[in-house]
Amino acid sequence: MPSRIEESIPSFPDDVPTANIYTVDFDRLKDGDPEEARKVYEASRGYGFFYLSNTHVDYDFMFDLANETFKLPLDEKMKYEMGNTGRYFGYKMSGSNYVDSKGTPDQSEFYNVSKDDVMGNGQYKEHPLEHPSTIERRRGELEGFMSSAHRVVLVVLKVLSEQLGLGPDVLPDLHKLDRVGGDQARVTHAPPVSADTITLGEHTDFGSVTVLFNQLGGLQVINPESKNYKYVKPQPGCAIINLGDALVKLVGGRLYSGVHRVVGPPGEQAQSPRHSVVYFARPNGDVKLKSRLDPDDGEEAMTADDWIAQRAKLRRTANYQGADTYHASRGTEHTKDSGKPKLDKPAQEAEAM
């Protein structure tokens, strides 16, 4: 069902190239429907992106939270700025990350809320993090958002674990809601800019599974065959699910972490400020990012926590020292783990490359 906010936004244009990605029904997937499971697996070896309907995640309030938080004065938001050391919770000011190998500053701000802080895991039980009042007073709703988004992630991981022959529990067991790790909810904001302005640079997500809600276009994903960018058209009532690098590493490159970026919204949507709402699931912090399908691979592996810190730190404008920093900041897309994407061949009409 479209949310309250989705009903009042300008329509997405029909003359821009859009990615032809599967839509999966969460209720059927959860109940073990083999066709829905097959679509998840195919999508995870194609674009690395799919739509998910009937998620039962209440996210409307997160757009209100975003609106109110980003309207706060900059000096109030800066009290919660995440800094340049690899810490990845709190506020990220516009321009403090860069978008390309030349170090061009980004044009979006975001705020990351830690799952452990909201759920009271580990040290956060005694020492919760501080947030602006727009977030602090919604801790109860955030707990609901995180638990329901995490439930979606566990179902997707169970299906992928089964499809890869690992059995149902191997991947979910590395992502426990009540164990500490780098999972986070994020709200983002980009000002109205033209459709050719990159507001969030090309990247793969760091974690395992991303659950994304957006209202306006602007997200673009690379078609892994043609290498061209396509818009991911927001579908009212659906989450956009994509895989991240940590999961690709856990399965030795058998799944694909889609390369994506965000540009100004297209067509009639262009004059609108853009918000998105995300839940990033990561493996629990001490999980080694080694392939569970290649137990004899003797290579040393990083922990999930170290991987996030490295990626977050190297994308900071303050740490940029030339194209080498950019290349070091990248995920699995250029490595031996990058997977061998096999593009979906959905039943719908073929997509122009």
List 69, 188, 204, 215, residue binding ligand AKG (CB under 6 A): 188
Q: Regarding beta strands 109-114 and 209-214, do their DSSP bridges make them parallel or antiparallel, or are they unpaired?
A: unpaired
8-state DSSP, 252:
T
Q: Considering beta carbons, is residue 174 or 190 the nearer one to ligand AKG?
A: 190
Question: Which of Fe ion, ligand AKG, none has residue 214 at its interface (CB below 5 to 8 Å by kind)?
Answer: ligand AKG
User: Of all residues in this chain, which one has the CB nearest to ligand AKG in the complex?
Assistant: 276
Question: Which of ligand AKG, Fe ion, none has residue 82 at its interface (CB below 5 to 8 Å by kind)?
Answer: none
Question: Which of Fe ion, ligand AKG, none has residue 212 at its interface (CB below 5 to 8 Å by kind)?
Answer: ligand AKG
Question: Which of ligand AKG, Fe ion, none has residue 255 at its interface (CB below 5 to 8 Å by kind)?
Answer: none
Q: Is 25 in the site for Fe ion (CB under 5 A)?
A: no
| Cα–Cα distance, 152 to 215 (Å, whole number) | 20
Tell me the per-residue interface mask from 200 to 239 with ligand AKG, x by CB under 6 A, - otherwise. x----x------x-x----x--------------------
Q: How far is the CB of 188 from ligand AKG (least distance, A)?
A: 5
Q: Locate tokens 């059995």: which residue?
A: 167
Among residues 35, 95, 131, 111, the alpha carbon closest in space to that of 316 is found at 95
Tokens coding 100: 């390309």
Q: Is 177 in the site for ligand AKG (CB under 6 A)?
A: no
Question: Which of Fe ion, ligand AKG, none has residue 188 at its interface (CB below 5 to 8 Å by kind)?
Answer: ligand AKG
Q: Is 255 in the site for ligand AKG (CB under 6 A)?
A: no
- In 82-133, at which residue ranges do the beta strands (DSSP E only) sit? 90-92, 109-114
Q: What are phi and psi of 165, to 5 degrees?
A: 80, 20
Among residues 49, 57, 50, 111, the alpha carbon closest in space to that of 79 is found at 111
Q: Are 293 and 164 in contact (CB under 8 A)?
A: yes
Among residues 195, 240, 194, the alpha carbon closest in space to that of 215 is found at 240
Residues 6+ away with beta carbon under 8 Å from 129? 89, 90, 114, 117
The count of chain residues that interact with Fe ion, using the rule CB under 5 A, is: 1
8-state DSSP, 298:
-
Q: Are 47 and 124 in contact (CB under 8 A)?
A: no
| DSSP states of 38-49 | HHHHHHHTTTSE
CA dihedral 32, 36, 39, 44 (to 10 degrees): -50
Q: Is 311 in the site for ligand AKG (CB under 6 A)?
A: no
Q: Is 333 in the site for Fe ion (CB under 5 A)?
A: no
Question: Which of Fe ion, ligand AKG, none has residue 131 at its interface (CB below 5 to 8 Å by kind)?
Answer: none
Report the site for Fe ion in 102-141 (rule: CB under 5 A). Answer: none
**Which sign, positive or negative, has the C-alpha torsion 116, 119, 124, 130?**
positive
Q: Is 278 in the site for ligand AKG (CB under 6 A)?
A: yes
Q: How far is the CB of 280 from ligand AKG (least distance, A)?
A: 7
Q: How far is the CB of 262 from ligand AKG (least distance, A)?
A: 5
Q: Considering beta carbons, is residue 159 or 278 the nearer one to ligand AKG?
A: 278
- Stretch of 44-52, 111-119, 204-212, 243-251 contacting Fe ion, by CB under 5 A: 204-212
Strand, coil or helix: what is 341?
Answer: coil
Tokens coding 187: 């709200």
Tokens coding 308: 């996030």
Q: Considering beta carbons, is residue 170 or 259 the nearer one to ligand AKG?
A: 259
| Cα–Cα distance, 190 to 268 (Å, whole number) | 16
Q: Is 257 in the site for ligand AKG (CB under 6 A)?
A: no
Q: Is 175 in the site for ligand AKG (CB under 6 A)?
A: no
Tokens coding 197: 């302005």
Q: Considering beta carbons, is residue 125 or 334 the nearer one to ligand AKG?
A: 334
List 183, 205, 245, 305, residue binding Fe ion (CB under 5 A): 205
Question: Which of ligand AKG, Fe ion, none has residue 278 at its interface (CB below 5 to 8 Å by kind)?
Answer: ligand AKG
Binding site for ligand AKG (CB under 6 A): 186, 188, 200, 205, 212, 214, 219, 260, 262, 276, 278
Residues in contact with Fe ion by the rule CB under 5 A: 205
